[in-house]
Amino acid sequence: MKNKSKGIRLNNVIFPLYMIMLLSPYMWLIMLAGNFLIDSLVLIVSGRLRKIRNMHEIWKKSILKVFLFGFLSDLIGCLINSILFILLSITLPDLLSGINFYFWPGCAIEAIPTVLIAGWLIYLFNKKWSFSKTDLDTGTKKKLALGLAVFTAPYIMFAPMDFLDGLLTAIGRLFGS
C-alpha cells in the first residue's frame, strides 16, 4: 500500500516479509529442518570446544528446548521487526520517505535491534530453561547459551527483499510450486 501524496510508504505492513514462509509447507519443512540441524551443530560444537564429556546426553536432554526456544525467539524478533517498521513509517514519514526498508541498506538498519533482541532471547531462554535437566554448572550453561545466541540469531533479517524473493522463487521452482 502506498500513499504518495503524504510521502508515507507502507510496504507489506499487513503481510510482513518474514511471514511469507507460512505460504508453503515446503518452506516450513526446510526452515524447521534447517533450524534443528544448525541448533544441533552449534550445540555439539560448542560442547566439544568446552570439552564436555557427555555431550551426546546433554544434546538429547536439551535439543528440543533449544530448538523450540530458538524458533520462538526468531518469531518474536520477526514480530518486533514488523512493529518497528510500522512505528518508523508512522512517526518519521518525511525523514524515511526515500528509504525502502525492504531493500538494502534499509532492511539492515531496521534489523539491527530485532536481531539483537532475538539473540538476547535465545541466550536468556537457553540459559534459564534449555539446560535445566542437565548436570552442567551455571558457567557452562551460560557459555553454551551464548554460543547458541551468537551463531543462531536470525541474521536472515539483514538480507534484502530482492535476495529473499530470488531465494524463495528458486526454492519454489525446486519443489514445483
Per-residue pLDDT at 158: 81
pLDDT < 50: residue spans in the chain = 1-5, 7-17
**What does the alpha-carbon distance between residue 17 and residue 12 come to, in Å, rounded to a whole number?**
7
Per-residue pLDDT at 136: 95
Q: Using CA of residue 159, residue 101, residue 89, residue 113, what is the dihedral sign? A: positive
Per-residue pLDDT at 15: 43
Grid cell 514488523 is found at: 82
Per-residue pLDDT at 12: 41
Q: What one-letter code names the amino acid at 68?
A: L
pLDDT in tens, 58-74: 999 999 999 999 999 99
pLDDT in tens, 30-58: 788 999 999 999 999 999 999 999 999 99
Per-residue pLDDT at 27: 72
142-144-145-150 Cα dihedral, nearest 10 degrees = 120
Per-residue pLDDT at 164: 66
Which ranges constitute the DSSP H helices of 16-174?
A: 25-49, 55-91, 93-96, 106-125, 138-152, 161-174
